[in-house]
Amino acid sequence: MKRLILILLAGILCISVFTTVSAKVSFGGWDKWDEELPPAEHKYWYWAISSNESRVWDLKGFGNEGSDVVLLFSDLCFYGTKSGKTKASVIFYLSDMDVKKWDIPNASLAIAAFPPKKGNIIIRAYKMEDKIFKFFEQWEIPFKEHEAVVPEDEDMEFRQIFKEWLKKEISSERTIPEGMIEMMLPELVIWEKKFFMITDATKLNKK
């Protein structure tokens, strides 16, 4: 009997291992989303906005000796199909750079949102390491208009890393109000009940 139980446990373990290995996330011809972002030269990267430029956050007087701190938020999408009807929405975060020279490898952090399934949407977070955007956290949010992409949970690794990134950019004598951080973090925008984009709250408030 003990031998039979051991055989059954071994079989279950093998099935579990196979399921884990075969559960690779594939979207738009890229199957390493649970490891890293597609490289900058991938043909399915496109700007999500017509200006084809990053949006600028100018924090007046937040730098050393009262200088300004310039942050760039870049809205891109990654096509799931050649036609572009299916897309993942991605925001890249970068500090103090000529907006005309911006490119994916220059950014520090990124959040990717994937097409909804069963009323929810998967969010993945990445940070730049050795010139590659490495995956480090995943969560889900409801597919709902104006839903906060990053929940107000202080234990979330992305929220902590985002705050640390901001602190490095500003003077040690200044602090960023919590409300400003929430405005910088993205919300979900939905139109025609199926098309979506993640973008920061200030942009939404301007509509």
pTM of the model: 0.84
* CA distance linking residue 131 with residue 116, whole number of Å: 29
* 24: confidence class by pLDDT, cuts 50, 70, 90: low
DSSP calls for 53-109: S-EEEEETT-SGGG--EEEEEEEEEEESSTTSSSEEEEEEEEES--GGG--GGG-SE
- The domain limits of the chain are 25-205
* CA distance linking residue 114 with residue 127, whole number of Å: 18
- 84-94, pLDDT tens digit by residue? 889 999 999 99
- 34-82, pLDDT tens digit by residue? 999 999 999 999 999 999 999 999 999 999 988 999 999 999 999 999 8
